[in-house]
Amino acid sequence: MKPADTRWRTVDIVVASVIAVAFGVIFWAWGFVWTATEGAFAFFPPAQSVLYGLWLLPGALGGLVIRRPGAAFYCEFLAAFVSVLLGSQWGTMAILQGAFQGVGAELGFAAFRYHSFRLPAALLSGALAGLAAAIFDQIRYYAALDLWNVRLPIFVITVLSATVVAGIGAWSLTRALAGTGALDRFPAGRDRATI
């Protein structure tokens, strides 16, 4: 097995930045969706965590498209940073949170030594980003809440949402983009059959 290519090309930096900035705008808007849907989850507030996975999508997507060490972290972190510049309701804390989530997403690809970018790697990236997010939130936002009725359900739902939305979502989006030819300058576009 040959070593993973670690050199970033200019096109890698540009596309990773475009992914991150686009998701930074989506993050900012998703904050409004989160606030607007609180009432819909009044029956069981931890269930709102089902919406969490979207915030973790750029890390897995960046890793699948760019396929370079650091791509998942870069996309997740920069997206969080952009959302803060736009006025995220969570303030500058979102930058630190984006870093934690980016590390989680990155570890999913590192576990495969940056050699596999198929569905299992995407699922692991999403799940580990969700795990990082859930741990961060438990410490930062939920430490004073009841463990069994609130914190544990939030934790589990966050990880599941991340696995499905960020993992499967990023994998599906990468396949769809590759099918259009938009990723032909990337291994993800050239390896359509193996994604």
Q: Do the beta carbons of residue 75 and residue 106 sit within 8 Å? A: no
Per-residue pLDDT tens digits for 30-74: 999 999 999 999 999 999 999 999 999 999 999 999 999 999 999
- Domain at 10-194, CATH class: mainly alpha
Q: What is the pLDDT of residue 108?
A: 98
Query: C-alpha angle with apex 164: 159 to 165, nearest 5 degrees?
Result: 100
Provide mean pLDDT across the span 99-128: 97
Residue type, 157: I
CA distance 54 to 102: 13
Indicate whether 25 pLDDT > 90: yes
CA distance 175 to 195: 7
pLDDT confidence band for 3 (50 / 70 / 90):
low
Backbone angles phi, psi at 168, to 5 degrees: -70, -40
Per-residue pLDDT tens digits for 134-148: 999 999 999 988 988
Q: What is the pLDDT of residue 123?
A: 98
Q: What is the pLDDT of residue 191?
A: 75
Indicate whether 195 pLDDT > 60: no
CA distance 14 to 75: 11
Average pLDDT of the chain is 94
Residue type, 79: A
Distance of CA 46 to the CA centre of its chain: 20
Among 45, 70, 1, which residue's Cα sits nearest to residue 154? Answer: 45
Indicate whether 124 pLDDT > 80: yes
Q: Give the tokens for residue 79.
A: 């997206």
Q: What is the pLDDT of residue 64?
A: 97
Q: Do the beta carbons of residue 71 and residue 12 sit within 8 Å? A: yes
Domain ranges of the chain: 10-194
Q: Give the tokens for residue 135.
A: 């741990």
- % of the chain residues with pLDDT over 90: 86
- % of the chain residues with pLDDT over 70: 96
Provide mean pLDDT across the span 156-164: 98
CA distance 12 to 68: 9
